[in-house]
C-alpha cells in the first residue's frame, strides 16, 4: 500500500472508504484517518465530538491498520432476514 498524503496543507492524511451493502440504495462514503500526531491539525476532525472523531481514526494492529465499520438501521426502521429495510409500525 502507498501511504496516503494529506489532500491540503494542514489536513490529516486519510483513505477514502466506499461501502456497498445489500439493502442500501446508494453507497456510503467515509474517511479512515491514519493514526498519528498530525490529527490535531485537521479542520474536519477538530469540529467533531471526541467519540465521533475516534470512530474515523484507523488503529494499528499486528498486521497493519484496522478500521471497523458498523452499519445500523435508521431510527424507525428494522431489517428483516432478507436484508431489505422496512418501516416499523407506529406505536
> 67, 54 in Cβ contact below 8 A?
no
Alpha carbon of residue 72 to chain centroid: 12
Element (H, E) at 33: strand 28-33
pTM for the full model? 0.66
Separation of alpha carbons 12 and 4, rounded Å: 9
Q: Is 50 exceeded by the pLDDT of residue 70?
A: yes
Tens digit of each residue's pLDDT (9 = 90 or more) over 21-61:
887 888 889 999 999 878 888 888 889 998 889 999 999 99
Q: Which of 19, 17, 20, 44 lies closest to 31, judged by CA?
A: 17
Amino acid at each position: 500500500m502507498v501511504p496516503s498524503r494529506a489532500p491540503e496543507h494542514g489536513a490529516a492524511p486519510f483513505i477514502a472508504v466506499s461501502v456497498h451493502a445489500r439493502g442500501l440504495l446508494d453507497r456510503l462514503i467515509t474517511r479512515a484517518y491514519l493514526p498519528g500526531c498530525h490529527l490535531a491539525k485537521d479542520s474536519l476532525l477538530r469540529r467533531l465530538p471526541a467519540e465521533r472523531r475516534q470512530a474515523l481514526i484507523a488503529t494499528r494492529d499486528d498486521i497493519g491498520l484496522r478500521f471497523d465499520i458498523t452499519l445500523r438501521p435508521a431510527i424507525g426502521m428494522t431489517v428483516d432476514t432478507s436484508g431489505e429495510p422496512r418501516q416499523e409500525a407506529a406505536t
